[in-house]
Chains A and B, each alone.
Chain A
Amino acid sequence: MSLPAGHGHASRRLLAVYAVAAALLASAPFVAGWFAEGRYWLDVLNNVGLYALLALSLNVILGDAGLFHMGHAAFYAVGAYTAAILNTQYQVPVLWTLPLCAAVAALFALAVARPVVHLRGDYLLIVTIGMGEIVRIALVNDVFGLTGGANGITGIDRPSLFGQRIAKPQAFFWLIWGFVALTVFLFHRLARSRFGRALNYLREDEVAAEGSGVPTARYRLMAFALGAAWAGMAGALFAGKARTISPESFNVGESVKIFAMVILGGAGSIPGVIAGAALLVGIEEGFRGFANARMLVVGVAMVVMMAFRPQGLFPVHLPRFRPADLPPPPEAARTEEPP
């Protein structure tokens, strides 16, 4: 059965929004070139892009599957460090590490989520926080002698695509936002797939989902793995951009930030979480002089939002079924007389 017209309409409007946004974004690198500070703002947009990727990846776990996860920075870290180690020790070009980072992060997620995926709500949250911290501590302590300890890994190469070295903000802009566009496309397809719908189902009512034959534990693990894989790839991009990574970039604060992006933007909604990313990075940049005041604003925003608009700024539009969406009854039934 195909999805009803209502869903399709929302899609069309959303497509229009995407088209306008894409056009404006595509013009940004050129416009930036006209202004002295343009480079700086382009870099900010790059930051938004990276965080958008992270928010989208967390959205699969937190928004779609409804799993309380506040250790997402750990997956990001696993990806970044994998890329860094492969690049500095084995001279693997950064972009080639992407699939490996995704795989390593996903496997890591499977390994750590497996024992705890049955936990509910607050408990899962605490466990993921603990897990994130353990990863960070392991990085600081130079686990396996690979991670460089508290100083991290330096001297990561720039990524290069088709022989072009990607170093300036303009080049990174296309790389990052190109990846974001790809992600948005793929995740929309995911939302319409069986797996995606099953995730939503199991978020709303786990018992009913299990009863309908959705293998909840397995799907939850898959959600973790998918979200982790994407975060891992974002980590690789980050490593190539920052050229130096250290454990402090992947602390609890980072996880909380990504979590806030998803929640404030609208858990489960793809444009919503991108908006959330833009919002939080925007606050950070806009109030650069007031380091603490701006986090205060974020804290207040969270409390206020939960009281007044818990579904987030741009919530998910779930398909609404109306009688007109039902398929027409077959000929034979119509001519039957009621008993």
Chain B
Amino acid sequence: MRLFLEQCTNGLAVGSIYALIALGYTMVYGVLKLINFAHGDLFTYGAYLGMTLLGSLVLGKGVGTGAGLLLLAVMVMGSVAVIGVILERVAYRPVRGAPRLNAVVSALGASIFLQNGLMLAYGGSPRSYPDVLPQTALSVFGLQIPVVRIAVVLAAVAMMAVLYFFVQRTRLGAAIRATAIDPDAARLMGIDVNRIVMLVFVVGPALGGAAGLLVGLLYGSISFTMGWSYGMKAFTAAILGGIGNIPGAMLGGLLLGLVEALGAAYLSMAWRDAIAYGVLILILIVRPSGLLGERVADKV
């Protein structure tokens, strides 16, 4: 029983990170009908930027406090958002009208570029985060839950709540939703679609960057191949929840995290990733619209 509960908490922590990254995929897909292959690398950028900032003296001292961490998060999210906007301009805008394959290849090329740029800057070995959060465990209902895990879940949930509120309750959020449903109709309603696209490429990457920072704080070690593996899992989560559907991405992320963690504990640790990919393929075959997606395949 203890193993089960422990793995549930672990699954929630990993799952909330998947959810944050999945949101980026789903928002971009909703608006552009395009899978941003470079999104996983933006997440990795967040992790490395966080490490660099933590390492620099300016931030190193005050960062243990809540305010310091918040500032760090804002800086990381902001920087990654900027990269996201540049990415859109350079790799996606030129191929917007063209056949699907071109956009896919362009995205892949951007992903390769970003990943290798990172390797060039930081070297190939895994890097470590300083111990910022307390490395102890809290006793909750007899379970020893690492403090870092709790912190990560809380932070992720907070961000997701803010996003949900933004998308559901504000005008700009409504504009995003409208563009996702029908860009031409949105244009007719006076929405500047290009600006909405840019906005989506600000919010999505920002969340991805935050996820990167959280991973660094949770595990203390980052490597440049994270982008690929987390990216694929997060994409699976987005599909699971229904691509284009924002609450779906959140749900999908948490669910995938749980499935993975429990599968690792009870089925096999070595096949953990294969289980995730298997889930992906299964969904696409059986229920491509995902759990919460209403739209049936114009894509299938």
A115 & B285 in contact (Cβ 8 Å cutoff): yes
A306 & B105 in contact (Cβ 8 Å cutoff): yes
Chain B interface bracket (under 10, 10 to 19, 20 to 34, 35 or more): 35 or more
B235 & A126 in contact (Cβ 8 Å cutoff): yes
B280 & A130 in contact (Cβ 8 Å cutoff): yes
B109's partner among A130, A252, A306 (CB-CB below 8 A) is A306
Confirm or deny: A95 has a beta carbon within 8 angstroms of a beta carbon on chain B: no
B106 & A302 in contact (Cβ 8 Å cutoff): yes
| Stretch in A157-165, A239-247, A291-299 touching the partner | A291-299
Confirm or deny: A137 has a beta carbon within 8 angstroms of a beta carbon on chain B: yes
Confirm or deny: A288 has a beta carbon within 8 angstroms of a beta carbon on chain B: no
B116's partner among A130, A134, A292 (CB-CB below 8 A) is A292
B280 & A256 in contact (Cβ 8 Å cutoff): no
Q: Which residues of A contact B165 (CB under 8 A)?
A: none
Q: Mark A111-147, 1 if CB is under 8 A from B, else 0.
A: 0000110111111011101110110011011000000
- CB-CB under 8 A for A127 and B284, given A140-B270, A292-B119, A307-B95: yes
- Residues of A298-319 at the interface with B, using a CB-CB cut-off of 8 Å, are 298-307, 310
Confirm or deny: A68 has a beta carbon within 8 angstroms of a beta carbon on chain B: yes
Q: Nearest-CB distance from B187 to chain A (Å)?
A: 24
Q: Mark B86-124, 1 if CB is under 8 A from A, else 0.
A: 000011001100111111111011111111110110000
Closest-by-CB residue of A relative to B279 is A130
Confirm or deny: B249 has a beta carbon within 8 angstroms of a beta carbon on chain A: no
Main SS at interface, chain A: helix
Confirm or deny: A156 has a beta carbon within 8 angstroms of a beta carbon on chain B: no
A300 & B105 in contact (Cβ 8 Å cutoff): no
Confirm or deny: B172 has a beta carbon within 8 angstroms of a beta carbon on chain A: no
Q: Which residues of A contact B235 (CB under 8 A)?
A: 126
Q: Which residues of B contact A256 (CB under 8 A)?
A: 108, 112
Q: How many A-B residue pairs have CB under 8 A?
A: 133
- Residues of B267-285 at the interface with A, using a CB-CB cut-off of 8 Å, are 268, 270-271, 273-274, 277-278, 280-281, 284-285
Confirm or deny: B2 has a beta carbon within 8 angstroms of a beta carbon on chain A: no
Interface size on A (CB < 8 Å)?
43
A133 & B284 in contact (Cβ 8 Å cutoff): no
Q: Which residues of B contact A118 (CB under 8 A)?
A: 300
B35 & A252 in contact (Cβ 8 Å cutoff): no
Bound complex: CA A133 to CA B273 (Å):
8
- CB-CB under 8 A for A134 and B101, given A293-B120, A299-B112, A307-B94: no
Bound complex: CA A121 to CA B35 (Å):
11
Q: Nearest-CB distance from B282 to chain A (Å)?
A: 9
Q: Which residues of A contact B111 (CB under 8 A)?
A: 299
Confirm or deny: B299 has a beta carbon within 8 angstroms of a beta carbon on chain A: yes
B274 & A137 in contact (Cβ 8 Å cutoff): yes
- CB-CB under 8 A for A137 and B106, given A123-B284, A126-B235: no
- Residues of B246-300 at the interface with A, using a CB-CB cut-off of 8 Å, are 268, 270-271, 273-274, 277-278, 280-281, 284-285, 288, 297, 299-300
A306's partner among B34, B106, B232, B285 (CB-CB below 8 A) is B106
**13 pairs, A vs B, C-beta closer than 8 Å:** A66-B101, A116-B285, A126-B232, A126-B239, A127-B280, A134-B278, A140-B270, A296-B117, A299-B111, A305-B105, A305-B109, A306-B105, A310-B102
Chain A residues near B (Cβ < 8 Å): 66, 68, 115-116, 118-123, 125-127, 129-131, 133-134, 137-138, 140-141, 252, 256, 259-260, 263, 267, 292-293, 295-296, 298-307, 310
What 14 additional pairs, Cβ within 8 angstroms, besides A140-B270, A300-B109? A66-B101, A123-B300, A125-B104, A130-B278, A131-B281, A134-B277, A138-B274, A141-B268, A256-B108, A267-B101, A292-B117, A299-B116, A306-B105, A310-B98
